[in-house]
Amino acid sequence: MPRVVAPSLLFLLLLLPGLLAAQTVDGDAPSTPTLELRGYVVPLYAYEPAFDYGTLLHETAEAGANAVSILVVLMQDNAESTQIYAKPHRTCPDDAVRRTIRQARAEGLAPMLFPIVLLENPQGDDWRGSLRPATVHDWFESYRTWMRHYARMAREEGCAWMSVGSELSSMEQHGAEWRETIAAVRTEFPGSLLYSANWDHIDGPDGWWTELDAMGLSSYYEIARTPDATQAELDAGWREWRDWVLEWHAHLAPNLPIVFTELGYPSRDGGAMKPWDYTTDAPVDLEEQRMAYRAFIAAWDGRPEMHGVFAYAWVNFGKNEESSYALRGKPAAELLKNWYRPQRVHLTEP
């Protein structure tokens, strides 16, 4: 049996309304109210260290959230490096992270602290999913130091959840190192833990998924084949991926709930074809973004395996905001708001 950590009293109080309310889709009978974590990702990406994220957190609470993923950036030089570090004006200072967690709690949001690793000088197509450190153990020693650091912070500030890793696909084969990492984090943090596997690498942590409290998935599944896919085609695309995810879940960790740690679509034409590709300069398409989220809801609403969703992301800090993943002020945010709130869900077209 997987280790299950009892959530804090605060966390239970935050979730109680959602647990008591049944949801429906298009007038169907009430589904089992399993969506306990309804949230957005608020990345701490502001280059000004003193930036205050309080307004953004308030907006996500107003947008139906009961939880928030607070994303913090760590760096390493390149894919072969063994040392991880905080970079000024890129890694949010500790005092600002702590303040943001406290502000989230004040808004009635259950915080999840979500550290990620980025490459400062990537070569070619390298990214955090293709790390190949010169010495694996040295990399994990550096990584564990930072995870323990953030675990202490998460405990001291009252986080409900923490992620021990995100999309580190090439490193997932080192099961013994991950077990040691998870054990080290648990000595500092009494809350619930997950790891966020990349959407195409759910089988990577086979053998150590059950050391955690949830199966986290970074969800950028390709649900469209053409830029002008209809709603019916997007719905079918998500159902196909849902069945694939559920098959792997049943094989790898059937007793763990699923949490979609990043569910995102750029609001541009063709964004549902390759949601992971943020580099294209296709025209803005707010409706395709909304339709893609609608397809996810149609596929997953009421599924007992799903424990939570964090939509990526609330803001993008000015980088092509209109065509980016940002949800703030877009039709997709209104759709999620109606779904997230503990009430009936209306997905019928206007």
144 is in which domain, residue-wise? Answer: 35-339
Give per-residue pLDDT as tens, 57-100. 999 999 999 999 999 999 999 999 999 999 999 999 999 999 99
Q: Is residue 20 part of a domain?
A: no
Domain count, the chain: 1
181 located within any domain? yes
Judge whether 83 lies within some domain. yes
Q: Is 16 domain-assigned? A: no
Answer yes or no: is 127 within a domain. Answer: yes
345 within a domain of the structure (yes/no): no
For residue 290, the domain's CATH number is 3.20.20.80
What are the pLDDT digits (tens) for 136-168?
999 999 999 999 999 999 999 999 999 999 999
In a domain, 5, yes or no: no
Give pTM, 2 decimals.
0.88
348 falls within a domain? no
3-state secondary structure the chain: CCCCCCCCHHHHHHHHHHHHCCECECCCCCECCCCCEEEEEEECCCCCCCCCCHHHHHHHHHCCCCEEEEEEEEEECCCCCCCCECCCCCCCCHHHHHHHHHHHHHCCCEEEEEEEEEECCCCCCCCHHHCCCCCHHHHHHHHHHHHHHHHHHHHHHCCCEEEEEECCHHHCCCHHHHHHHHHHHHHHCCCEEEEEEECCCCCCCCCCHHHCCEEEEEECCCCCCCCCCCHHHHHHHHHHHHHHHHHHHHHHCCCCCEEEEEECCCCECCCCCCCCCCCCCCCECHHHHHHHHHHHHHHHCCCCCEEEEEECCCCCCCCCHHHCCCCCCCHHHHHHHHHHCCCCECCCCC
Per-residue model confidence (pLDDT) at position 13: 38
- pLDDT under 70: residue ranges of the chain: 1-34, 318-319, 342-350
